């Protein structure tokens, strides 16, 4: 055995290039498989941390619970940890400069709950006389508090139309409400926290928390729970709801966090994610298997004569197998170790790049997270791949008799009938092409390995490019705002907006206000999908839907231009008939982006939210053509219409009980928008005004999109490099094995031009045949990918990465020609006689 081992090592050293290429193939495959695991574990942990920071670390929350129900849930065997708040109600915040938030919202919380908040200054309360307040009160409510300040508050529930509310819901100035004071409390401010995740952005009160020791029997409790098994949260939650009859309570799952534990409540999303991962992992696994198998198959083919000589001097079949496994052990060990080191180094560098690009977007930095399952599985997989890749060709070679192996004629099959070749081959490529084709037909095994390498490279490149195409498509949908700056203000300040319109830097602008009405629409006027959405949303089964309708009131001139463009009348309502919505049902969640109304009904009844209706139906003109700066309305789930300002004014005058103070908005695109944006922020400082810049916000999101694109492009580059390495190794070794054959053809008078023609024909044959198999298989995989994405979006066509397809077609011929040219060029320079008598041992 030692002699055979030394000969194996000598063979590897004498064939350094092939050995190095084989090691590179194993290294890249190992680095790719392990890198995916390291990146996945690091990404999941980072996203969990972000979700916990933004929405809390609980898995489920229950609102307005009684003492009995709260205690029962806390005692549930599946609950690992629970924390709670008890709502005491509201207190007036008379100093608030935010008209939408005129209250404090006071709650007590246990220690575990208090520890989930992010302290900015001070400490957590130690008793029910101390409080922590949100810094949001300062920058949004206009009231600065400091540590040690005292608050005297009259606290109680909000009373709206005779009903008491303890929940922190939105405040509507037009609705009469009051506070039913039930207690007076004096608190000392001991800590300031970041805006708590428990406070909704539409909430009417700023959150204040004091210390509690146990759930309350007098006031409603809000309970947050964590389960021992997060993946079973939806099943456990359903059992709790059923056992305690909590169907009428406000119950929510922390879906964002649970998603990163690998579970959602919607079966089709789980199935889609599983299919997407299965397709990607299958492609990776098959690619790695074929790359490594081809390396050992071509190596075994190259050493076949050696094995025949070993057998002729007494080497047993077992010793031949041992020789191949010893070679696999050497190159496999080196390749796997280098792959492990390379994956750790590569992923560490990738994470540092992500941290640099996303430092202004995400709260936490990426860190390299080691999940042993994601490490051991790829390593075990690669060991098995190397083992079986060596076993199959080794067993095949060990069965061949010594004389056949020495003569190397077992791969060449001589058919009983004469081989025929198409006439056009001889016509275009001459006798050289015919000779090459007959040689390939007789020696199919060698050519199949080359075709297989090219085939898998094409499929991997196009398939993962399809993943990239779908990923970029979903990321591009983030950029659905087509205006630079938006300014909103009360009607009393509309003159300031008109001044902005006259600024020389403003290229285009639209001044408008929007208001809500109801459209009385038959359900059969909707598309089937939107009808399902509306019925699900309203939980009604009637044939008429009272659909909230967003009516945008444009300046007359702007509306007239829009109407002329789509051939509508000045008196019409222009209805934008496209939207994005989600349909829930049968444990499924499907997102649609399509038209909302299918029938061209030209008139609809329009009513106010207080159910005061216009006498005459409105004439409606449909369109899916965007008005500039209004592209975002195509991503809403409500019907949106446009009307001229003068037409609107003449209509609302007939509604005597309709009282509405418009909030005007100016959307604009401008040259040097950044300087204008900062100027407008200074100009509209009061809290009744708003200045925003989606373009400015998008600049930050672009870094996130860029980071994801870099990951995807890097992934595809690595996959492509693995394929190219395999192809180059296969072709180079295959050509090297034919040195004697080429030397004999040259000795018989094959001219250099004929030799080049023969190589060109083989290159074209390899390229065309691999594309003949690779392109249809890639198309099928793209179809699978498209169907797997159906849970996330409907109504979108199949996205074919045409650029990748064209690149693959050109790349195949380029790689084949380069690999064959490089190998043949070396052979062409060799002495014919030396090549013929070379024994290649």
Distance CA 714, CA 469 (A): 14
Report the candidate in 190, 214, 218, 222 with the shortest Cα–Cα distance to residue 105.
Answer: 222
Tens digit of each residue's pLDDT (9 = 90 or more) over 713-762 = 777 777 777 777 777 777 776 677 677 777 777 777 777 777 777 777 77
* Mean pLDDT on 588-606: 76
Give the pLDDT confidence score for residue 327 in this predicted structure: 85
> Parallel, antiparallel, or unpaired for β 544-554 and 639-644?
parallel
Distance CA 743, CA 752 (A): 12
Distance CA 460, CA 462 (A): 6
How many residues does the structure list for the chain?
A: 841
Distance CA 841, CA 826 (A): 19
CA angle, 239 then 244 then 249, to 5°? 100
Residue 186: is its pLDDT beyond 90?
Answer: yes
Alpha helices in 480-595 (DSSP H): 494-501, 528-538, 556-566
> Predicted confidence band at 305 (pLDDT cuts at 50, 70, 90)?
low
* Mean pLDDT on 272-297: 77
Report the candidate in 18, 26, 24 with the shortest Cα–Cα distance to residue 287.
Answer: 26
Residue 659: is its pLDDT beyond 60?
Answer: no
Q: What ranges make up the beta strands (E) of 46-201?
A: 60-65, 79-92, 103-109, 119-122, 130-134, 150-155, 158-160, 163-165, 177-179, 183-193
Give the pLDDT confidence score for residue 840 in this predicted structure: 45
- b/e burial code for range 717-733 (CB count within 10 A of at least 16 → b): ebbbebbbbbbbbbbbb
Which of 569-578, 595-604, 775-784 has the lowest average pLDDT? 595-604
Distance CA 344, CA 31 (A): 8
Residue 180: is its pLDDT beyond 60?
Answer: yes
Q: How many whole angstroms from its chain centre is CA 539?
A: 32
- What distances in angstroms separate CA 490 from CA 142, 526, 558, 640, one per listed residue? 19, 35, 21, 21
Give the pLDDT confidence score for residue 660 in this predicted structure: 57
State whether residue 159 is helix, strand or coil: strand
Share of the chain above pLDDT 90, in %: 16
Report the candidate in 715, 697, 264 with the shortest Cα–Cα distance to residue 460.
Answer: 715
Please compute, for residue 566, the number of CA atoms within 13 A of its CA located in the half-sphere on the CB side: 23
Report the candidate in 169, 151, 165 with the shortest Cα–Cα distance to residue 219.
Answer: 165
- b/e burial code for range 485-512 (CB count within 10 A of at least 16 → b): bbbbbeeeebebbeebeeeeebeebbbb
Please, what is the end-to-end C-alpha distance for the chain in angstroms?
18
Distance CA 682, CA 676 (A): 10
For 421-490, the DSSP string reads --HHHHHHHHHHHHHHHHHHHHSHHHHHHHHHHHHHHHHHHHHHHHHHHHHHHHHHTT-----SEEEEEE
Tokens representing 469 are: 């195409």
Indicate the DSSP class of residue 626.
Answer: P
Give the pLDDT confidence score for residue 656 in this predicted structure: 41
Distance CA 831, CA 829 (A): 7
Asked if 96 contacts 141 with a C-beta cutoff of 8 angstroms, the reply is yes
Average pLDDT score over the chain: 80
* Mean pLDDT on 377-393: 86
Report the candidate in 730, 769, 745 with the shortest Cα–Cα distance to residue 835.
Answer: 745
What string of H, E and C letters represents the secondary structure of 225-272?
EEECCHHHHHHHHHHHHHHHCCCCCCEEECHHHHHCCCCCCCHHHHHH
Give the pLDDT confidence score for residue 476 in this predicted structure: 56
Distance CA 524, CA 531 (A): 7
Tens digit of each residue's pLDDT (9 = 90 or more) over 24-78 = 888 888 888 888 888 888 888 888 888 888 888 999 999 888 888 989 999 999 9
Give the pLDDT confidence score for residue 540 in this predicted structure: 58
> Predicted confidence band at 657 (pLDDT cuts at 50, 70, 90)?
very low
> Predicted confidence band at 167 (pLDDT cuts at 50, 70, 90)?
confident
Indicate the DSSP class of residue 689.
Answer: -
> Parallel, antiparallel, or unpaired for β 177-179 and 158-160?
antiparallel
Share of the chain above pLDDT 70, in %: 80
Residue 631: is its pLDDT beyond 90?
Answer: no
Asked if 529 contacts 535 with a C-beta cutoff of 8 angstroms, the reply is no
Residue 652: is its pLDDT beyond 60?
Answer: yes
Residue 418: is its pLDDT beyond 60?
Answer: no
Give the pLDDT confidence score for residue 658 in this predicted structure: 47
Give the pLDDT confidence score for residue 89 in this predicted structure: 92
Asked if 615 contacts 816 with a C-beta cutoff of 8 angstroms, the reply is no
Tokens representing 329 are: 């052990």
State whether residue 21 is helix, strand or coil: helix
Distance CA 740, CA 836 (A): 5
Distance CA 648, CA 662 (A): 12
Distance CA 48, CA 56 (A): 10
Asked if 730 contacts 449 with a C-beta cutoff of 8 angstroms, the reply is yes
Alpha helices in 551-644 (DSSP H): 556-566
Identify the residue whose tokens are 């066509």: 797
Q: Which own/partner pairs from 648-653 qualify as long-range (CB within 8 Å, at least 24 positions apart)?
A: 648/551, 648/553, 651/614
Residue 795: is its pLDDT beyond 60?
Answer: no
> Predicted confidence band at 841 (pLDDT cuts at 50, 70, 90)?
very low
10 Å Cβ neighbour count for 418? Answer: 6
Tens digit of each residue's pLDDT (9 = 90 or more) over 549-582 = 888 999 999 999 999 998 888 888 898 988 888 7
Which of 87-96, 154-163, 222-231, 395-404 has the lowest average pLDDT? 395-404
Asked if 356 contacts 264 with a C-beta cutoff of 8 angstroms, the reply is no
């Amino acid at each position: 055995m030692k002699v055979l081992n030394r000969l194996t090592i000598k063979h590897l050293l004498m064939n350094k290039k092939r050995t190095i290429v084989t090691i590179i193939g194993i290294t890249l495959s190992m680095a790719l498989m392990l890198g995916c695991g390291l990146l996945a574990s690091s990404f999941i942990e980072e996203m969990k941390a972000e979700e916990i920071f933004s929405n809390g670390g609980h898995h489920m929350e229950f609102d307005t619970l009684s003492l009995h129900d709260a205690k029962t849930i806390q005692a549930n065997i599946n609950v690992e940890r629970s924390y709670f708040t008890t709502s005491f109600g509201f207190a007036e915040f008379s100093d608030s400069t935010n008209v939408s938030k005129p209250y404090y919202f006071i709650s007590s919380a246990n220690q575990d709950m208090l520890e989930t908040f992010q302290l900015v200054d001070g400490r957590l309360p130690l008793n029910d006389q101390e409080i922590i307040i949100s810094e949001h009160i300062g920058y949004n409510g206009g009231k600065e508090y400091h540590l040690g300040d005292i608050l005297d508050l009259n606290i109680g529930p909000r009373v709206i139309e005779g009903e008491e509310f303890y929940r922190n819901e939105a405040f509507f100035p037009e609705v009469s409400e009051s506070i039913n004071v039930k207690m007076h409390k004096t608190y000392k401010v001991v800590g300031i926290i970041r805006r708590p995740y428990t406070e909704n952005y539409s909430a009417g009160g700023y959150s204040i928390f004091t210390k509690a020791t146990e759930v309350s029997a007098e006031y409603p409790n809000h309970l947050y729970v964590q389960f021992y098994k997060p993946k079973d949260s939806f099943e456990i939650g359903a059992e709790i709801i059923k056992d305690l009859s909590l169907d009428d309570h406000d119950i929510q799952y922390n879906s964002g966090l649970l998603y990163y534990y690998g579970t959602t409540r919607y079966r089709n999303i789980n199935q889609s994610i599983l299919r997407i991962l299965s397709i990607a992992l299958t492609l990776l696994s098959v690619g790695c298997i074929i790359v490594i198998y081809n390396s050992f198959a071509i190596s075994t083919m190259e050493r076949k004569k050696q094995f025949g000589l070993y057998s002729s001097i007494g080497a047993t079949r077992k010793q031949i197998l041992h020789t191949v496994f010893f070679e696999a052990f050497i190159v496999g060990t080196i390749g796997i170790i280098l792959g492990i080191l390379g994956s750790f180094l590569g992923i560490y560098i990738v994470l540092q790049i992500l941290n640099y690009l996303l430092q202004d977007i995400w709260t936490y930095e990426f860190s390299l997270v080691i999940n042993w399952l994601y490490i051991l599985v790829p390593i075990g997989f690669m060991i098995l791949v190397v083992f079986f890749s060596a076993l199959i060709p080794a067993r095949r070679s060990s069965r061949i008799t010594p004389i056949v192996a020495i003569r190397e004629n077992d791969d060449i099959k001589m058919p009983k009938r004469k081989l025929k070749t198409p006439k056009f081959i001889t016509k275009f490529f001459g006798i050289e092409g015919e000779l090459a084709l007959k040689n390939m037909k007789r020696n199919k095994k060698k050519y199949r390995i080359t075709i297989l390498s090219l085939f898998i490279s094409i499929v991997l490149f196009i398939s993962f490019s399809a993943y990239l195409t779908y990923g970029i498509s979903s990321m591009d949908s983030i950029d659905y705002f087509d205006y630079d700056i938006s300014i909103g203000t009360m009607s009393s300040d509309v003159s300031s907006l008109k001044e902005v319109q006259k600024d020389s830097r403003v290229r285009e602008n639209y001044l408008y206000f929007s208001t809500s009405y109801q459209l009385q629409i038959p359900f059969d006027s909707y598309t089937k999908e939107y009808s399902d959405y509306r019925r699900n949303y309203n939980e009604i089964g009637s044939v008429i839907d009272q659909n909230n309708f967003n009516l945008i009131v444009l300046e007359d001139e702007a509306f007239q231009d829009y109407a002329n463009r789509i051939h509508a009348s000045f008196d019409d309502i222009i209805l934008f008939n496209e939207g994005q919505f989600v349909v829930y049902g049968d444990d499924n969640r499907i997102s649609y982006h399509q038209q909302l109304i299918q029938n061209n009904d030209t008139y609809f009844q329009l009513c106010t939210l207080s159910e005061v209706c216009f006498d005459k139906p409105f004439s409606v003109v449909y369109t899916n053509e965007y008005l500039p700066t209004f592209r975002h309305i195509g991503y809403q789930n409500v019907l949106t219409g446009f009307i001229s300002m003068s037409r609107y004014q003449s209509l609302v005058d007939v509604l005597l009980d309709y009282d509405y103070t418009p909030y005007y908005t100016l959307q604009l695109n401008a040259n040097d928008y950044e300087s204008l944006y900062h100027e407008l922020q200074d100009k509209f400082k009061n809290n009744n005004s708003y200045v925003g810049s989606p373009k400015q916000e998008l600049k930050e999101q672009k870094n996130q999109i860029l980071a994801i694109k870099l990951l995807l492009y890097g992934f595809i580059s690595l996959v492509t490099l693995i394929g190219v390495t395999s192809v180059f190794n296969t072709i180079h070794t295959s050509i090297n094995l034919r040195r004697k054959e080429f030397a004999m053809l040259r000795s018989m008078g094959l001219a250099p031009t004929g030799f080049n023609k023969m190589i060109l024909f083989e290159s074209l044959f390899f390229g065309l045949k691999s594309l003949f198999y690779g392109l249809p298989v890639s198309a099928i995989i793209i179809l699978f990918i498209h169907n797997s994405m159906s849970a996330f979006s409907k109504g979108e066509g199949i996205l074919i990465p045409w650029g990748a397809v064209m690149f693959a077609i050109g790349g195949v011929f380029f790689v084949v020609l380069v690999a064959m040219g490089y190998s043949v060029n070396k052979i062409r320079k060799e002495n014919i006689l030396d090549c013929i008598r070379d024994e290649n041992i």
